[in-house]
Amino acid sequence: MIIDLIEKELQTIDQATFQSLINSFLSYNKKYEFISAPGGVLGKNKTSKGIPDSFFYDSENDKYIFCEVTTQDKLNNKKIFMDKLKDDIVGCFDTTKTTIENEKISEVILAFTSKLSPDEHDSLIKTLKKYNPNAKLTLYSIQKLAIELQTFPSTSDYIPRINLFQCISTFDNFVEKSKKGFRPDLKNPLINSNGLIEDISNILLKNDIIALYGNQGTGKTRVSLEIAKEFSIKNNYKVLIVNGFQYDLQDSFSKLISQGNSYLIVFDNFDGTFRNFDLLIQFLENIPNTNIKVILSLKSQFKEKIKLDLIDYSPELVEIGKMEREDIWKMITSLLKEKNLHVKDFALDIVLKISDGNPALALMAILPIIDNDDESFLRNPIKIYENYFENYKKTVSFLNEKDSLKTLGILSFFGYLDKNNENLLNVLKNEFDFDLIDNWNIIEKLNNHEVVEICDNEVVRLSDSILSTYVFYKAFIDEKSSVIDYDRWIELFIIDYNDEIYSKLVDVLNAFNFDEIKDRITFLINPVKNKFDNNFIKLLSFFKVFNIFYEVDVLDFINKWSDSLEPEEFDVEEFEIPSIRNIYENTVHIKLLSDLYRSKPNIAHDALNLSFDLIFIQPSKAPEIIEVINDKFSFKRIDKEYDFEFQNRFIDFLSSNNLNLEKRKLAEKLFLFFIPQLFEWNFTENEMISKKRMLLHRFELFETDSLLKLRKKILERLFELHDLYPTSVENVFEEYINKFYEEKKEVYNKEQKLVYNFFKKFNINKYKHSQIIYTYTKKLNKFNIAESEDFDSLINWNMINKALIYSSSLKNFNDPRKKDFEIKEDISKDLVNKDNVYVMNVIDFMNEIEISKQENYCNKSYISPLFEVLAEKDIDIFIDAFKHYQSKNYRFINNGSFISTIINKKLLDVEKFYIIINYPEYEEKQFLNEIFFGSVNESDINKDIFLKFVNFINSLDGGFHFFNPDDYLKFDKCFLKFKKEVPFAGKTSNIIQYITKIIINRPNDITFRFNYGFCQKYNYFFEDNFELLKDFFYKVIERDPNWDYDGKELESLCTINPPFLKQYLNELINSEKISDLRRGPKLSFIWNGKFSEKDIDEIINLLINKRNYFSSVEHPITILFKGTTIEHDYINNFIKVNNNSKKHMHAIFSMIIYTFDEECFMKFLKKFLILNNDIEIFKCISLMKSEAKFISSFSSLEEEGVVSYQKVLSMVEDLPNISNFSKHISYLKDLINQTKKNINLLKKDEFKDDFF
């Protein structure tokens, strides 16, 4: 047992390690604040004399906790051992040594590696009570420690042979181990800028999951640890740090997390490769009586992945962006002060410039050059890296050795190398004189220095990105140190490793100054480009990587490609800018062309011109071209530093008179499509830093002269286009109004004159124009922007006031909603002394309001309240108004409440009202009839009205909502009375059956909506016509497979008619939809007592016999079981009857392993083996799940398999008549050995995958 192993290891532990273990253990379990260890020597593996050995502080009670530890062996001398413990207690209360009053000591802890008897325990308590009767004595004997340490995350850090939780640490131990390889220490100071830690901690109080994302080196891990520290202290949470996802975390957490506690779990450096992360979170959330909070740190490129993985949990995403220059300065000076060191001011200034908000790079720069006065060290980023790594050259010679540098350079490119990849290794050996096998001793040496990692002595990887970038530069690029021919490397790998070449180039260009290394890289790649000039495929691949060095050549290359395209028909007048959402095309040439949009002005102009040519040649490529144009000219963070040069260029191009007539038309349409986004203030930029990595940045624009000039240019051009595109321009300007931002009101104030001159061109008799001006001035007033122009004089106030009475279109989203009686009161007041002509004009005006709205805006007219008021005032005026509405074929009735009012208040004869509603030429009769027949009272229904309803049901076109069948029960008496005159009534016995029959037999292009729960709620209407209810179920499922998402509708049918389940399953099987069963709802209602054992047998045999199903995933019969004890007797009998059938035993045990616990599985398996020892049938039984509820890796799943096989093997070996099972034992041992081999192979693959 693990407890015995821990006990054994504790017997040999040294005093200093034991003391460190206890300190860490108590900090985690007791949650006291560790203060100091007077009995320890810093950095030494030994202790010194000091009282107490360590002490903690209980801030809640303002008390101290003293701890004494000893590894003294009791067996050598019991008296000396006990005297030692008593002396330790006495020493804790010796105020001359501790300077702490006895009353301030609330607890004394003794930890020792021996056992203790009850009388010894009692004598120690008595010793304690002599000095402080209120103090508590806590004893950790070797036995108690062994039990406790099996659930302590960091046990293996102090007892390496006890490897319990390989990727989970306590807070203190994680920080302690943080100094690894070349990365800056997590103990370095953190500057809490602008209350960042407090802000995120407050978010964590309200949200269970927070994801901190950002660029590499921005301090995500450091921030997450600081939050964890502060939050855990204030809110009494235990902290667990997860660093690595290759082990079975669910199993680890099940051992570590105890009910009744609160845990804050930090997942550090989430890399997007973790499988089924949502299931792990679900597992954590479902632990009873436990509070779980989660913090994730991840690079920006994994932000969308974590959102998708945890879509059901809505994690709060917080960006950790660049640090402010002042904060980096504080961090560095704090570090220098802590170390009592000094750096010249000029050096600090240069570090601040080069680090560019990256604290990790700042630390890289400052730590190796402390006290160095040579300014040349900091003249460019290359020197920063060289200075940083210079610190390690003194002890790690690989940075100076040619063979080591070549090895690391090749590793930095591929990420990993595998001895079994013969093809690649042969190329490396023949072309670059690199033999992985011969250089393995170098790799082992690098591994010893923690520079690389080795797996199974076959695969090696380099995963430190800082080191990787540096050694790639040194091995491939640097003129002085390069050991690999970069040009030959590109020539050989440009096709198969194009992404890798691009990725490493981007890493180098991001790390070092482009201008510093541009000439060097150009010199290296020119010979390759010349070789590829006549090879189209290789030249294309080359330009995909190195286009930034050959922009003119790229433009010429794409020109030639465009000449080769097959022309398509294109009419620019008819052309509409397509949607650019979900554009999945990725034409390489278009991507290359888009990279030139932000080049030098002449190159960018020619690239845009060529893009237009491409649209005219092949308009099918327009969505992709417009998407990349939109992306490239949208605001980026850097644009403000260049005075928005690229947006200005683009607007100038689109406004140019030098374009021919057709291109100018296209440019005008593209301008109107593009510019609304430029009125925004807050943006998110997706920055691809390689083909596999993406960074996301949020940023805000601020008022600058250059931005104001750009906005003025945009507005002027927009207003110029009004004569040509009035509707489009007005819609765009409404977006300008909608994007008003209170903090930018000074900008809008400065733009008033320009807007006013635009408004002066408006037609005061056109409602749309008055509405725009009114909305604009309302926005100005909302943000307290004084009107500098006389906008009121341009508004038709009669129209605006009327719109406020008859529509909600002028109301803002957050304006209070008018109550129905208020709306009717306002309408009634307006209609006083008004004639029919006025009413007709109001309806026409309401239609003008409706058509003035932008697309997809909801209906906001008050037409129904108007009709109600008219009907209540004078029914004849209502009839005239309603006929006028119908004659114009208007379509803005949004609820039809006036119909119910007229019927319920008996303002109009029902039959006459029906005739009015069904005005022959009116196209929306069905909508009005649906409301009419739903509103009509039973007392108003005669034969004529009933037959009209029947005709309505039989003539449905478009769609029908049958959500509440109760509304139509009022027609049932007439249905029974006049059934013979009802078409297609057939065997239907009530109106609900009839409506259902008619609707489900309508063509498939007619949409209908039934309320979920129809079968459950209304099945009693179908007691004499089950076939119809069954047809209804099939029809609805055919249209919407997810309609019966929880199986309750099917259960309802099967409760009425149990044989239906067998029929349903049979049809599923025959229609090749058997796989849908495993994805569908459970059908375990067969155990509710309505189904006999014979029924269940038939259903199970149906699923087993219809298909040969020997899959490793769960068998379809699993959906019939729910894992309760009521099913045990049936399963026992099933095994007894069918133990000679391979497919029956495969099916039932597949179900058992997925539905029941391990104990049940072993019990049923043992029963089968006693009944039948046929080895071939045994081989058909799945002994482990192939789809674990949670796996962190496939190797961990296979490891679970080994455990399962070993348990089965143990059970078989304990069976009576063991000689009958020799084949089973051999089979299981072979299975275990083969699975272990698979695990080794999988671990190698996972080791390689970790790089990506």
Angle at 1031 between CA 1027 and CA 1033, to 5 degrees: 115
Structural domain boundaries enclosing 24: 2-158
| Whether 29 and 142 share a structural domain | yes
Q: Which structure tokens are listed for 844?
A: 């026409």
DSSP of 1192-1247 = S-HHHHHHHHHHHHHHHHHHHHTSSSGGGGHHHHHHHHHHHHHHHHHHHHHHHHHH
pLDDT digits (tens, 9 = 90+) for 63-114: 899 999 998 888 778 888 899 999 999 999 988 888 888 889 999 999 999 9
Alpha-carbon gap, residue 1100 to 1116, rounded angstroms: 9
Comparing C-alpha atoms, which of 577, 810, 814 is closest to residue 676? Answer: 577
| Whether 1151 and 1042 share a structural domain | no
Q: Which structure tokens are listed for 1235?
A: 């699975």
Domain count, the chain: 5
pLDDT digits (tens, 9 = 90+) for 980-1003: 999 999 999 999 999 999 888 887
DSSP of 202-240 = HHHHH-SEEEEEESTTS-HHHHHHHHHHHHHHHHT-EEE
Give me the pLDDT at residue 1192, please: 45
Alpha-carbon gap, residue 114 to 473, rounded angstroms: 57
pLDDT digits (tens, 9 = 90+) for 544-587: 999 999 999 999 999 999 999 999 999 999 998 887 776 667 78
- 1075 assigned to some structural domain: no
Contact between 170 and 350 under an 8 Å Cβ cutoff? The reply is: no
Q: Identify the sign of the CA torsion 394, 397, 402, 405.
A: negative
pLDDT digits (tens, 9 = 90+) for 648-686: 999 999 999 999 999 999 999 999 999 999 999 988 886
Contact between 707 and 693 under an 8 Å Cβ cutoff? The reply is: no
- 336 assigned to some structural domain: yes
pTM attached to this predicted model: 0.62
Alpha-carbon gap, residue 812 to 1039, rounded angstroms: 39
Cross-strand pairs, 67? 54, 109
- 153 assigned to some structural domain: yes
- 1210 assigned to some structural domain: yes
Looking at 158, 191, 217, which one is the last position of a domain?
Answer: 158
Averaged pLDDT, groups of 10, the chain, 1252 residues long: 82 88 84 67 49 83 90 83 91 88 91 90 92 91 89 83 77 70 52 71 88 76 86 87 72 83 87 73 87 86 76 84 72 72 63 65 63 51 60 55 91 90 94 93 81 80 76 91 94 92 84 80 94 92 93 94 94 87 78 93 95 95 92 88 92 95 96 94 71 62 93 97 95 93 91 96 94 94 93 95 90 73 93 93 92 61 93 94 92 87 94 91 86 92 94 83 83 93 93 90 74 86 92 86 83 88 82 58 82 90 72 78 90 94 92 91 95 93 67 62 88 92 93 83 62 44
| Whether 229 and 150 share a structural domain | no
| Whether 180 and 305 share a structural domain | yes
- 622 assigned to some structural domain: no
Give me the pLDDT at residue 1189, please: 42
Comparing C-alpha atoms, which of 158, 210, 217 is closest to residue 6? Answer: 158
Which CATH number is 89's domain given? 3.40.91.50
Contact between 434 and 410 under an 8 Å Cβ cutoff? The reply is: yes
Contact between 316 and 211 under an 8 Å Cβ cutoff? The reply is: yes
Question: How do strand 63-70 and strand 105-112 relate by DSSP bridges?
Answer: parallel
| Whether 93 and 194 share a structural domain | no
- 491 assigned to some structural domain: no
- In the block, which residue shows the tokens 């108003």? 940
| Whether 1199 and 1099 share a structural domain | yes
| Whether 277 and 372 share a structural domain | no
Q: Three-state SS for 93?
A: coil
Looking at 298, 321, 344, which one is the last position of a domain?
Answer: 321
- 400 assigned to some structural domain: no
Give me the pLDDT at residue 1141, please: 93
Give me the pLDDT at residue 395, please: 42
| Whether 275 and 371 share a structural domain | no
User: Other CB atoms closer than 10 Å to residue 1054's CB: what's the count?
Assistant: 23
Give me the pLDDT at residue 66, please: 93
- Residue 47: DSSP 8-state: B
Angle at 799 between CA 796 and CA 805, to 5 degrees: 140
- In the block, which residue shows the tokens 């300007």? 733
| Whether 292 and 336 share a structural domain | no
Helix (H) or strand (E) run with residue 69 in it: strand 63-70
Alpha-carbon gap, residue 951 to 843, rounded angstroms: 31
Give me the pLDDT at residue 280, please: 85
Alpha-carbon gap, residue 480 to 382, rounded angstroms: 13
Alpha-carbon gap, residue 264 to 257, rounded angstroms: 11
Comparing C-alpha atoms, which of 668, 568, 579 is closest to residue 627? Answer: 579
Contact between 57 and 107 under an 8 Å Cβ cutoff? The reply is: no
| Whether 40 and 189 share a structural domain | no
| Whether 151 and 244 share a structural domain | no
Neighbouring residues of 1251: CB distance < 8 A, sequence distance ≥ 6? 415, 416, 461, 463
Looking at 374, 395, 416, which one is the last position of a domain?
Answer: 395
- 1048 assigned to some structural domain: yes
Comparing C-alpha atoms, which of 1050, 978, 981, 1043 is closest to residue 1009? Answer: 1043
| Whether 1091 and 1233 share a structural domain | yes
Which CATH number is 253's domain given? 3.40.50.300
Residues recorded for the chain? 1252
pLDDT digits (tens, 9 = 90+) for 945-976: 999 999 998 888 877 777 788 888 999 999 99
Strand order in the sheet with 459-461: 416-418, 459-461, 453-455
